[in-house]
Amino acid sequence: MRCTVVGAGVSGLSCAVKLLEAGHEVVVISDRFSPDTVSDIAAAIWYPFLTAPADRADGWGIATYAELERLSEREPQSGVRMRDGREYLRQAVDPPEWSEDIAAFRILDDSEIPEGYVFGWQFRAPVIEMQLYMPWLRSRVEALGGSFVQSFVGDLSEVSGEVVVNCVGLGARELCGDEEVRPARGQVIFIDQDPGIGHFDQQPETLTYTIPRSDVTVLGGTAQVDDWGMDIRAEDNDLILSKVEALWPELDRSRIIGGAVGLRPSRSEVRLEVEYIDERKVVHNYGHGGAGVTLSWGVR
C-alpha cells in the first residue's frame, strides 16, 4: 500500500518505520525536520507524563519500553540507554500500573528521600538521547526505502497515497481545526555535570527532573499550558534550578552550557482515530503531550 505520513517528529518517523517494516511504501511529508521539531527538544526519558487516556497510554508505553530496551542493547548508535532514576512524591501512593512491567522497580527507603518529600521509588528506564535518536530514526526510514518531502500541508484531502497518517502534533490546531490540542511549554537547561542517577518529581505543578545523557544532563522543567513563548526566560531558569537543587544539592551552576524551549502537543487525550476524507483512510495520531517518545512505538 502507498502510505503518506504527515509530520517528521518522533510520532511520524516511528510510524513510517513500522509501515515500512510491514512492507508498505512510505513518503514522509513535513514542513520541518530534525533538529527543528518539538521532538528534538524532548528531554527525554521513558515516562507516561501528561498524557491520556491512562488505560491505553500504559499499554502503549509498555510496548514502547520493550522496543527502546531492545534498541539500547542491539542498536547503541540509536542513542537509547537504560538508566536508573528516582521519583519522589509528597504523599504515599500505590505504585503505578506500569511498575510491574519495567526493570528494577523498588520503593525507596526513607533515608533515600530528600527533604520535602515523603515517598518515592527507583526504576530503570530508557533515556532517549534525541540529538542521536532523531537522525537515527530518519536513517532507519531511508534504509527501509522511505522518502521525504519538505512541504507544508494545508489540506489532508490534497495529500496523495492510499492511506494518510496524520502526525502533525500541535500543527493539528490548524490542519484539523482541533483546538483541543494546546501547547504545554517546556523549558530545559543543559549542564555539563552528571548526577549519576536521574532525580524526578513528575507532578505537573512541581515538575522537576535531571536526565543524564552521554553529552550533557538535561534539567527541567516547566509545563505551561497555552503559553506559546519560544524564548528562554531567566525566571524559568531560576525556578528550574531551585527545584533541581532541592533534589540534587551538588549541582554546580557554573557548569551550565545552554538551554532550550519546546511546545508539547498536549490534548485531553491522544487522538488515535480513523477518519475517511473523500473516501480515503486518514489515521490521526497526535496530541501525545509530555509522552510522545514514551508512546511512540506502542500507539496502534
Ligand X SMILES: Cc1cc2nc3c(=O)[nH]c(=O)nc-3n(C[C@H](O)[C@H](O)[C@H](O)COP(=O)(O)OP(=O)(O)OC[C@H]3O[C@@H](n4cnc5c(N)ncnc54)[C@H](O)[C@@H]3O)c2cc1C
Binding site for ligand X (CB under 6 A): 6-12, 29-32, 37-39, 41-45, 47, 152-153, 167-171, 175, 186, 188, 220-221, 262, 264-265, 286, 288-294
Give the nearest distance from C-beta 124 to ligand X in angstroms.
Answer: 15
Complex with ligand X: residue 176 or 251, whichever CB lies closer: 176
Beta bridge partners of 13: none
Give the nearest distance from C-beta 162 to ligand X in angstroms.
Answer: 19
Give the nearest distance from C-beta 42 to ligand X in angstroms.
Answer: 3
- The residue among 107, 102, 106, 108 whose CA lies nearest residue 125 is 102
Angle between helix axes 10-21 and 130-143 (nearest 10 degrees) is 30
Complex with ligand X: residue 92 or 274, whichever CB lies closer: 274
Complex with ligand X: residue 111 or 234, whichever CB lies closer: 234
Complex with ligand X: residue 115 or 205, whichever CB lies closer: 205
Per the structure block, which three cell numbers stand in for 67?
522496543
Give the nearest distance from C-beta 77 to ligand X in angstroms.
Answer: 20
Burial 93-114 (b: 16+ CB within 10 A, else e): eeebebeeebeebeebeeeeee
Complex with ligand X: residue 109 or 155, whichever CB lies closer: 155
- The residue among 181, 76, 174, 178 whose CA lies nearest residue 128 is 76
**Spatial separation of the C-alpha atoms in residues 220 and 244, rounded to whole Å:** 8
Complex with ligand X: residue 36 or 112, whichever CB lies closer: 36
What is the CA 253 to chain-centroid distance, rounded?
Answer: 26
Give the nearest distance from C-beta 233 to ligand X in angstroms.
Answer: 13
Residue 127 has φ and ψ, to the nearest 5°, of -100, 130
Give the nearest distance from C-beta 154 to ligand X in angstroms.
Answer: 7
